[in-house]
């Protein structure tokens, strides 16, 4: 395993939660194997997920706020607020990005979604042909590590909630792959509040195995840009 720079974005309000345990375990395992780890604990940081003019130190249009326009202007003129710039620097620093979170309402917790809305800024992180195969983070890896409330059978193709991979597609493809990351299969702890200590220990062992084999793990395969026609439809 080659040394890596790993950036974990952690989104859970409880320090004693299993999500927090997974993040602590990841940091310990990765550092013990010679990697560098940075963690953004969004709740501990009191990160503000609301996007508005406070994202910026400069204004393109003071009369009408459109975030993409302001993003581009800030990208060209070093106009992002310090909290956003700091998180962007971590993204560009890392080789591997990990989102650690509980699945709430079939998606990211609001604080993590707000982090994406603010940090994945147009002009700096995407735009102008910088997307998917040509994304800014081409060559870097990303992975979701998450917990669910329901048990595994509920997250299958015939399960009540539907296939977990379909649920995670908007995050894996619509956020991470969109900006160029090679997206690794997710690590999912099913029914986190319903398992006993022995099963939790088992999940920690499984997570450790995933972490130490990141550089050997094949990413999820998505169609390449060249597979689409001029209307962005898959070629027949």
The phi and psi torsions of 26 (rounded to 5 degrees) equal -60, -45
CA distance linking residue 67 with residue 33, whole number of Å:
41
Q: How far is CA 157 from CA 56, 162, 171, 190, in A?
A: 43, 5, 18, 15
Q: In this structure, what are the phi and psi dihedrals at residue 82, rounded to the nearest 5 degrees?
A: -60, -40
- Greatest alpha-carbon span in the chain: 58
Looking up tokens 């060559």 gives 139
Residues catalogued as catalytic: 149, 155, 161
What is the DSSP secondary-structure string of 73-93?
HHHHHT-B-HHHHHHHHHHHH
Q: How far apart are CA 170 and CA 125, in angstroms?
A: 17
The string of DSSP letters for 7-36 reads EEEE--S-TTSHHHHHHHHHHHHHHHTT-E
Residue length of the chain: 236
Element (H, E) at 170: helix 164-171
């Amino acid at each position: 395993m080659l040394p890596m720079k790993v950036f974990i974005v952690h989104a859970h309000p409880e320090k004693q939660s299993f999500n927090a345990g997974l993040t602590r375990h990841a940091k310990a395992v990765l550092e013990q194997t010679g990697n560098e780890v940075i963690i953004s604990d969004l709740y501990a940081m009191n990160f503000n997920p609301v996007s508005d003019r406070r994202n910026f130190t400069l204004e393109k249009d003071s009369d009408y706020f459109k975030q993409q326009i302001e993003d581009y202007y800030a990208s060209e003129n070093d106009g992002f607020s310090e909290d956003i710039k700091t998180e962007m620097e971590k993204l560009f620093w890392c080789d591997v990005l990990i989102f650690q979170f509980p699945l709430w309402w079939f998606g990211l917790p609001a604080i993590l979604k707000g982090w994406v809305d603010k940090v994945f800024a147009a002009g700096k992180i995407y735009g102008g042909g910088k997307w998917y195969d040509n994304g800014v983070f081409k060559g870097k890896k990303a992975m979701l590590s998450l917990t669910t409330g329901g048990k595994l059978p509920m997250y299958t193709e015939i399960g009540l909630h539907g296939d977990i991979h379909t649920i995670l597609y908007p995050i894996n493809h619509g956020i991470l792959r969109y900006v160029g990351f090679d997206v690794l299969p997710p690590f999912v702890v099913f029914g986190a509040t319903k398992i006993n200590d022995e099963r939790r220990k088992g999940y920690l062992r499984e997570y450790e195995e995933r972490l130490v084999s990141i550089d050997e793990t094949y990413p999820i395969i998505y169609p390449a840009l060249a597979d689409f026609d001029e209307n962005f439809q898959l070629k027949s």
